[in-house]
């Protein structure tokens, strides 16, 4: 439960961008390497990293390192705020997130290391 208005505002700001909502929806179904998230969403890895930074600050995602790989997932359901649970329920059936999940199945099947998406995607 959030007991600080300022923190609640920061959480709401963290999810006020389409990319960050797509990242959250993707991570709700499992853990992914940052490269995999970028590949699924077809955005530069730097954009994913920036989105994850905001989502971590809001307490919505966790990360773990394994060698040079950084894996991310949503905060466990037992620790997730009602706000996160509600957001995940709302974004799950959206066409964009359903398409991302379909793409994620193909990307998850690829062995790490996958080609770095930064070499395929134009940086803005």
CATH number of the domain enclosing 45: 1.10.10.10
Given this model, what pLDDT does residue 80 score?
A: 85
Inside any domain, residue 121? no
Inside any domain, residue 26? yes
Evaluated on CA atoms 71, 81, 92, 19, the torsion sign reads negative
Given this model, what pLDDT does residue 121 score?
A: 33
Q: Which domain holds residue 34?
A: 5-109
What digits encode the pLDDT tens for the residues 40-87? 999 999 999 999 999 999 999 999 998 888 999 999 888 888 899 999
What digits encode the pLDDT tens for the residues 6-21? 888 999 999 999 999 9
Given this model, what pLDDT does residue 106 score?
A: 86
Confidence band (pLDDT; 50, 70, 90) for 93?
very high
What's the domain count of the chain? 1
Inside any domain, residue 93? yes
Rounded Cα distance between 121 and 67, Å, is 25
Q: What pTM value is reported for the model?
A: 0.83
Inside any domain, residue 120? no
Inside any domain, residue 32? yes
Rounded Cα distance between 102 and 21, Å, is 16
């Amino acid at each position: 439960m959030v007991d600080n208005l300022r923190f609640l505002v920061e959480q709401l700001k963290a999810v006020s961008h389409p990319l960050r909502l797509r990242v959250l929806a993707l991570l709700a179904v499992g853990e992914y390497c940052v490269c995999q998230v970028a590949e699924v969403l077809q955005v530069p890895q730097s954009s994913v990293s920036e989105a994850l930074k905001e989502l971590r600050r809001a307490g919505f995602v966790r990360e773990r390192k394994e060698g040079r790989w950084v894996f991310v997932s949503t905060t466990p359901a037992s620790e997730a705020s009602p706000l996160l649970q509600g957001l995940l329920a709302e974004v799950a059936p959206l066409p964009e997130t359903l398409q991302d999940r379909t793409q994620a199945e193909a990307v998850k099947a690829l062995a790490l290391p996958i080609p770095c998406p930064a070499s395929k995607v134009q940086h803005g």
